[in-house]
C-alpha cells in the first residue's frame, strides 16, 4: 500500500474522451502531472452525434489545438422534421462543425501526449476508493495507483457508477443509441434532426466527405422488432427523410456502433470526492445537439478548479464546493431544459404539433436553441 503522503500522481483522470483529454491538456499546461486511464486504444469510435458548437473554438485554440488540420465540416443551418416528414429550417446563430470522435479524440490524445500528459491505454479501472485524503485507483492488471485528485470523465455509464451506488444507475433507462458513418448527398452545412415514433435521428457532415448518422430510440422498439435492421424498416422508415437516407446512403461500416441504457437523469458532479465531468456528470439530450461542447467546457471548469486547489493551497472541501457551484451555474439549467424539450418529441402527434408550432414561431425556436447552447469560452 502506498503511503498517503506520497501519491503516485497529483491527478488521475479516468476516461480519455473529450472532457478527460481537454482537462488533461489544461492541467499539463499549468505544470501539473496528469495520468489518463482509458480502457480502449486510440483511435476508436464512440456513439455520438459528432456535431460541436463553435463555442468551444477559443478554448481549444488556447490548448494548442488546430482543428483545421482535421478538415471538419462547417455547419450553420438546422432542419427539423416531424415523423410525417413535415420540416422547418433555420440558421444556427453561432454555428458549429462536424468531426468524428475517431478523428477528434485521437488528435487530442496525440496533442496531450506530445505536451507531456501520461496515458495508460487498454486499461480498465476496477475500483476507486478514497482514504486518508487520497485516492486508491485499482486497474485491470491488479495494479494500484494513488492520486491526490481524481476526475471521473468516463462517459455515460460504467461499472464505476454501480460501485459508487449512484442514483441514476439503480434506475433502468429505456434508451439505446445507434451510430453509422455514411456517404450521403445532404449539404455539408446542414445538421438535420428527424423524428420518428419513440425516437429521433440526427445527420450531419463530418470530415472526409462523410456524414454521421446517429439515432436514439427505446429498447422496447428494438425488442418488438427483434433486430436493428427490422426496427429501422418498421419504425424509422415511416419518416420519409429517414427512409431516403437508408435507401440512398452508402453505409461505410458493416455494423453500427450501439450503446445501451443511456440515461438523461440528474447526476451529481462530485461523487465520493471525485470531480465528475462530461457525460459522467450529466448528459444533455441529443435532441439539443451540444454534448460534445459541454464535455469540453466541463473539462475546462474541472481543470481550473484543480489548478486553484494545487496552486492556492485550497482544501478539498473548497475544491469540491467551488467545482459544484461553477458546474451547476454553467450546465444545470441547460440539462433541465434539454429534458423538458425531449418530452415534446418522440410521440408522433406531439412531434407534429411541436414542429408546426415552432415553424410558426421562429423566435421561440431560436430562444430554445440559445438556451441549450453556451457562449464562446
The answer to whether 373 and 55 are in contact (CB under 8 A) is yes
Specify the pairing of strand 134-139 against strand 190-196. Answer: unpaired
3-state secondary structure of 57: helix
**Looking at residue 335, what is its pLDDT?**
82
Nearest to 213 by CA among 173, 253, 175, 174: 253
236-272 pLDDT, tens digit each: 999 999 999 999 999 999 899 999 878 777 889 999 9
Residue 289 burial by Cβ neighbours in a 10 Å radius (0-12, 13-18, 19+)? buried
What is the pTM (predicted TM-score) of this model? 0.92
**Looking at residue 69, what is its pLDDT?**
96
**Looking at residue 287, what is its pLDDT?**
63
Mean of pLDDT over the chain: 92
- Write out residues in the chain with pLDDT < 50, as ranges: 1-4
Question: CA of 350: how far to CAs of 198, 207, 219, 327, in Å?
Answer: 11, 35, 21, 32
Structural domain spans, the chain:
9-372
Question: CA of 291: how far to CAs of 53, 72, 155, 266, in Å?
Answer: 9, 17, 11, 15
**Looking at residue 370, what is its pLDDT?**
76
Residues 6 or more apart in contact with residue 289 via CB below 8 angstroms = 49, 51, 53, 191, 193, 202, 372
DSSP secondary structure, 309-351, as one string: HHHTT--HHHHHHHHHHHHHHHHHHHHHHHHHHHTTSSSHHHH
Q: Please state which CATH class domain 9-372 belongs to.
A: alpha beta
Amino acid at each position: 500500500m502506498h503511503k498517503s503522503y506520497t501519491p503516485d500522481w497529483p491527478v488521475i483522470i479516468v476516461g480519455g474522451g473529450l472532457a478527460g483529454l481537454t482537462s488533461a491538456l489544461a492541467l499539463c499546461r499549468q505544470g501539473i502531472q496528469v495520468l489518463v486511464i482509458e480502457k480502449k486504444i486510440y483511435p476508436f469510435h464512440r456513439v455520438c452525434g459528432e456535431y460541436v458548437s463553435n463555442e468551444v473554438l477559443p478554448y481549444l485554440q488556447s490548448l494548442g489545438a488546430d482543428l483545421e488540420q482535421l478538415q471538419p465540416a462547417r455547419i450553420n443551418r438546422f432542419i427539423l422534421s416531424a415523423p410525417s416528414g413535415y420540416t422547418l429550417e433555420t440558421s444556427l446563430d453561432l454555428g458549429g462543425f462536424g468531426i468524428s470522435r475517431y478523428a477528434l479524440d485521437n488528435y487530442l490524445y496525440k496533442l496531450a501526449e506530445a505536451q507531456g500528459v501520461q496515458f495508460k491505454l487498454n486499461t480498465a479501472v476496477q475500483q476507486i476508493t478514497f482514504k486518508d485524503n487520497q485516492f486508491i485507483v485499482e486497474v485491470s492488471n491488479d495494479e494500484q495507483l494513488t492520486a491526490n485528485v481524481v476526475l471521473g470523465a468516463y462517459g455515460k455509464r460504467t461499472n464505476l457508477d454501480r460501485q459508487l451506488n449512484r442514483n441514476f444507475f439503480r434506475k433502468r433507462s429505456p434508451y439505446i443509441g445507434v451510430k453509422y458513418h455514411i456517404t450521403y448527398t445532404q449539404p455539408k452545412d446542414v445538421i438535420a434532426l428527424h423524428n420518428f415514433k419513440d425516437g429521433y435521428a440526427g445527420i450531419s457532415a463530418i470530415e472526409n466527405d462523410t456524414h454521421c448518422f446517429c439515432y436514439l430510440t427505446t429498447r422496447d422498439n428494438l425488442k418488438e422488432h427483434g433486430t436493428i435492421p427490422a426496427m429501422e424498416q418498421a419504425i424509422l422508415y415511416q419518416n420519409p427523410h429517414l427512409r431516403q437516407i437508408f435507401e440512398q446512403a452508402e453505409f461505410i461500416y458493416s455494423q453500427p456502433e450501439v450503446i445501451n441504457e443511456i440515461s438523461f437523469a440528474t447526476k451529481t458532479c462530485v461523487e465520493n470526492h471525485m470531480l465528475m465531468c462530461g457525460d459522467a456528470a450529466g448528459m444533455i439530450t441529443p435532441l439539443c445537439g451540444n454534448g460534445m461542447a459541454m464535455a469540453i467546457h466541463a473539462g475546462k471548469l474541472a481543470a481550473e478548479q484543480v489548478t486553484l486547489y494545487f496552486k492556492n493551497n485550497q482544501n478539498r472541501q473548497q475544491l469540491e464546493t467551488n467545482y459544484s457551484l461553477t458546474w451547476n451555474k454553467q450546465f444545470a439549467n441547460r440539462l433541465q431544459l434539454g429534458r423538458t424539450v425531449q418530452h415534446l418529441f418522440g410521440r408522433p402527434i406531439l412531434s407534429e404539433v411541436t414542429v408546426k408550432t415552432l415553424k410558426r414561431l421562429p423566435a421561440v425556436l431560436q430562444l430554445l436553441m440559445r438556451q441549450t447552447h453556451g457562449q464562446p469560452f
